[in-house]
Chains A and B, each alone.
Chain A
Amino acid sequence: MAPKTVTLEIKRQASPDAPAVWEKFELEWRPGMNVISAMMEIAANPVTADGHETTPVTYDSNCLEEICGSCAMRINGKARMACSSLVENLEQPIRVEPLSKFPLVRDLQVDRSVLFENLKAVKAWVPVDGTYDLGSGPRVFPQQQEASYPLSNCISCTCCMEVCPQFNEATGFVGAATIAQVKLFNDHPTGKVFKEDRLRALAGDGGVQECGFAQNCVEVCPKQIPLTSAISDVSRDVLLQKAKDFLRG
């Protein structure tokens, strides 16, 4: 019996200015194979289906267990993590492309540093006094922990930004991931000291009002973070903050 094969079509682009080309690869099927392990196979034998020698594919990856957030890409048109995209669950040929909303570096690698800049802008941290032994932290009941923990699971993969119709240069929208982090830190007993700053940071252009409630973000999130409810909570708080600031003059 001939061995089962897997067909991938990968969008290649040698540099941001180079033209994009599609390359097709035929690989031997192996149990448990995922899109990253397929690309590892290509690296060990970089030859296209029609026998042309090519280069190993450039892509971001690290943990391969969907927790580091590196390997987000578009697979069969859907933004998702390549490591957890099992070949047996995908229709073939498997079409692999880079995320489209971020500056391309090479092949499937894009520059997603905008998210980390956004996190700076909203002060996404708890301002502790120091790292010395200052005793135990604030008491937190399990109900609060269970509400915060899902938000704290965000792996910064940017899938939610990729699929958001409002996330583009025209709006400058920060995207769902950042807004969910604002909720996380505003709900923390110490983190909430910056609550007003964070809400004001989301009050202007590119802020939370850019959200068009398409709800794509919550559908695509690989960590099932309740993004839309975080956005509506933060939207409400931003409005209240605006009103307060207006009355204060």
Chain B
Amino acid sequence: MASPRIIVVGGGLAGLAAVIKIAEAGGTVDLFSIVPVKRSHSVCAQGGINAAKNLKGEGDTTAQHFDDTIYGGDFLANQTPVKAMCEAAPAIIDLLDRMGVPFNRTPEGLLDFRRFGGTLYHRTAFAGATTGQQLLYALDEQVRRYESDGKVKKYEGWEFLSAVLDSKGVARGITALDLRSMELRSFSADAIIMATGGNGALFGKSTNSVACTGSAQSALFQQGAYYANGEFIQVHPTCIPGEDKLRLMSESARGEGGRVWVPRIAGDKRPIKQIPESDRWYFLEEWYPKYGNLVPRDVATRAIHKVVYEYGLGLDGQPMVYLDLTHIDRETLNRKLEGILEIYEKFVGDDPRDVPMKIFPGMHYTMGGLWVDFNQMTNIPGIFAAGECEYQYHGANRLGANSLVSCIFGGFTAGPNALRYANNVSAAEGDGGHAAEIARQTEINARLLNNEGTENPFKLWRALGQTMTEHATVIRYNKGLKQADEKIVELLDRYKKVNLSDKSQWANTSFAFARQLKNMLELSRAVVQGALLRDESRGAHYKPDFPDRNDERFLKTTKASFTGEVAGPRFDYEDVDTQFIKPRPRRYDAAK
């Protein structure tokens, strides 16, 4: 029997991890990516990767990592896969180390670990402050090795458009667009792994890369895949505000001792260095004495919001607070944080070794994503998902440095499961639905290209980003969420009149973007309506009108399904697997 054909969509950490496992088991893979895989968004991860290696004599255990993750996620994550991830993490670090990741070292030559948010242990392995880049390169190199052996064929510069489903709804391949020649093609596969990352573009500006539109997840959602916990959006407390994006300032800055503060006097005009300690308000340390600056991200973000908007203590009346590293010696800063300090220096122009950084929260990560089972398979037979595009590991809030481990673990799980599935799936009847799907996509493309209207897709996108950021990030009110949904419906209507200023058939980026935009709009409704329906506060989802967690009603996974109707998606709720750790109140003002 011929070896099964597997397609992996997305070449970040999760996708590459899946590719490596499949190639190692003797399978062959077609790997699709919008950008050359080495330029995927995983490269932006900064601070590190968690694993309870317990190399600091603190008695850390994988059970403790598991508890921190579940607690940090406010008990919304299914516990079985999270437990498996935490148990696998130490061996994943060893593997990455063997692959040549230049992790920081102790004087004895062992792996060094730093602290991160939501834990009291040194559990985060790191390579300076460019850990994601180093991890991505290590996996990229291993995939290049398999590519040289003919086990992997890369389709870089191709964008996933849809799944090809047969008459029984089983996945038989994908359609994709060559972003240069604008050629539309379908590709056969026995199993498909989606590893298409986050959806920051729904919010206009975020810490995400340009390619993180959520378009692929949305296309599958519109083809029948459940989208789970979409309302859980992580807003990172420390970002550099910018015109084109919000640049991340890693949690590792606080892990290495960085302190968040504002002057106690609103609009204090003194030079920073002349503001005495007694006039500086280290509000995180005051409110959360045990965890201090290393509370989980949702907690830190809400605290900064409160200080800026309720106390009116933003710097110079602007929505910004200080993240201060100036008390740490330059040599240590350069050795452990140079990458992020350079970003601040280059984009802001100040040296954070000398002056405190000015930061503010920004949209960073989606905990929600494609619904998957414990084998990482979506509800569409043959389609698997791994990494940020699926919902499984982080519950209502992700802990810092858990994303890299969840990407790699998810990919390592999805790869072998997809191969096993592909080895056993029955052959497709007829053409497996390829001709019909190509016809459907051809029609969408033709309509978009020939549309006569007045709407510029980039302007529609800005309007989407504004409404999503205003109503569906840190603080949510039902009235605002309803307004946001109405706005999206309006934008969907205006989208029908979209007019491309570029109608060429060569490297037409406006065309590709306009296709993504439609998907962003549809997916935004799952986020906004999911938030509207969840009348409680849990992790990153915070409603002042419903300030408490409500386990009785909402200790449940949200599952949105696309209906194609004006009212929007349908919502179902699924019980959460809590078999190992009984839900308890989540608070960070004392040790848990």
A interface residues, Cβ below 8 angstroms from B? 14-15, 30-34, 36-37, 40, 43-46, 53-56, 58, 60-70, 83-84, 86, 105-107, 109, 113, 116, 119-120, 123-128, 130-131, 133-142, 145-146, 148-149, 152-153, 155-156, 185, 188, 190-191
The answer on a CB contact under 8 Å between B458 and A44 is yes
Provide the bound-state CA to CA distance between A119 and B141, in Å. Answer: 9
Known: A14-B506, A139-B108, A190-B98. 8 other contacts (CB 8 A): A55-B501, A58-B507, A67-B133, A70-B39, A125-B144, A126-B99, A140-B105, A155-B133
The reply to whether B35 and A62 form a contact with Cβ atoms under 8 Å apart is yes
Question: At the interface, yes or no: B476 with Cβ under 8 Å from chain A?
Answer: no
Chain B residue at smallest Cβ distance from A83:
B244
Which chain A residue shows the least CB distance to B408? A131
Q: B133 — nearest CB in chain A belongs to which residue?
A: A67
Please indicate the chain B residues that have their CB under 8 angstroms from the CB of A156 in the complex. Answer: 36, 38-39
Q: Please, which residues of chain A bring their CB within 8 A of the CB of B524?
A: none
CB distance from A68 to the nearest CB of B (A): 4
In the complex formed, the residue of B with least CB distance to A70 is B39
4 tightest Cβ-Cβ pairs between the two chains A and B? A137-B97, A37-B244, A125-B141, A55-B502
On whether the beta carbons of A15 and B100 are closer than 8 Å, the reply is no
Give how many B residues have a beta carbon under 8 Å from the other chain's beta carbons.
73
Q: Is B142 an interface residue (CB 8 A)?
A: yes
Give the CA-CA distance A68 to B39 in the complex, in Å. Answer: 5
CB distance from B51 to the nearest CB of A (A): 12
Contacts of A149 in B (CB 8 A): 102, 127-128
Instruction: Flag if B210 contacts A116 (CB, 8 Å).
Output: no
The A/B interface has a contact count, at CB < 8 Å, of 192
- Residues of B contacting A69 in the complex (Cβ-Cβ under 8 angstroms): 38-39
B-chain residues with CB within 8 Å of residue A63 when the two chains form the complex: 39, 41, 43-44, 209-210
A-B contact pairs, 20 of them (CB 8 A): A14-B506, A32-B348, A34-B244, A62-B35, A67-B130, A68-B40, A86-B349, A119-B141, A126-B98, A131-B95, A133-B95, A134-B95, A139-B109, A142-B107, A145-B104, A149-B102, A149-B127, A152-B102, A153-B339, A191-B100
Partner of A142, one of B97, B104, B145, B349: B104
Residue of B35, B144, B335, B346 near A120 (CB, 8 A) is B144
Q: Pick the contact of B106 from A15, A84, A142 — CB < 8 Å?
A: A142
The reply to whether B507 and A105 form a contact with Cβ atoms under 8 Å apart is yes
> Please, how many angstroms separate the alpha-carbon atoms of A3 and B252 in the complex?
39
Give the docked Cα–Cα distance between A185 and B99 (Å): 10
In the complex, how many angstroms separate the beta carbon of A27 from the nearest chain B beta carbon? 11
A-facing residues in B98-142 (Cβ within 8 Å): 98-100, 102-111, 127-128, 130, 133-134, 137-138, 141-142
Residues of B within 8 A of A124 (CB): 141, 144
In the complex, what residues of A have CB within 8 A of residue B148's CB?
A: 120, 123
The answer on a CB contact under 8 Å between B39 and A62 is yes
Q: Give B459 Cβ to nearest chain A Cβ, in Å.
A: 5
Q: Which partner residue on chain B sits nearest A89 by CB separation? A: B349
Distance, CA A43 to CA B510, complexed state (A): 8
B24 touches A55 (CB 8 A): no
Minimum Cβ distance to chain B for residue A133 (Å): 4
Q: How far is the CA of A178 from the CA of B211 in the complex (A)?
A: 26
Please determine whether A133 and B94 come into contact, CB atoms closer than 8 angstroms. Answer: yes
The digit string for B504-540, where 1 denotes a CB below 8 A from any CB of A, is 1011111001000000000000000000000000000
Determine if B501 and A131 form an interchain contact, defined as CB atoms under 8 angstroms apart.
no
Q: In the bound complex, how far is the Cα of B509 from the Cα of A32, in angstroms?
A: 25
Collect the chain A residues with CB atoms within 8 Å of residue B501's CB. 46, 53-56
| Contact residues in A for B103 (Cβ distance below 8 Å) | 145
Q: Which residues of A contact B133 (CB under 8 A)?
A: 67, 153, 155
A126 touches B39 (CB 8 A): no
Please name the residue on chain B nearest to A69 by beta carbon: B39
Complex CA–CA separation, A200 to B569 (angstroms): 60
**Residue numbers in B under 8 Å from A43 (CB-CB):** 458, 509-510, 513
Closest to B91 in A: A133
Interface string of B63-86 (1 = CB under 8 A from A): 000000000000000000000000
Q: Across the interface, which residues of B come within 8 angstroms of A152, CB to CB?
A: 102, 127, 134, 137
In the complex, the answer to whether B145 meets A56 with C-beta atoms within 8 Å is no
Q: Quick one: which of B105, B108, B243, B346 contacts A66, CB cutoff 8 A?
A: B346
Are B510 and A84 neighbours in the complex by a CB distance under 8 Å? Answer: no
Interface pair B35/A136, CB less than 8 Å apart:
no
Residue ID in chain A nearest B141 by CB atoms: A125
Give the residue of A70, A86, A139 whose beta carbon is less than 8 angstroms from that of B110. Answer: A139
Indicate whether B456 reaches chain A with its CB closer than 8 angstroms: yes
**B335 close to A116 (CB less than 8 A):** no
- Residues of A contacting B247 in the complex (Cβ-Cβ under 8 angstroms): 64-65
Residues of A within 8 A of B210 (CB): 61-64
How would residues 141 to 175 of chain B score, 1 for a CB under 8 Å from any chain A CB and 0 otherwise?
11011011000000010000000000000000000
Considering only residues 15-59 of chain B, those with a C-beta below 8 Å from chain A are 20-21, 24, 35-36, 38-41, 43-44
Check: B462 CB closer than 8 A to any chain A CB. Answer: yes
Contacting B41 at CB < 8 Å: which of A62, A135, A185? A62
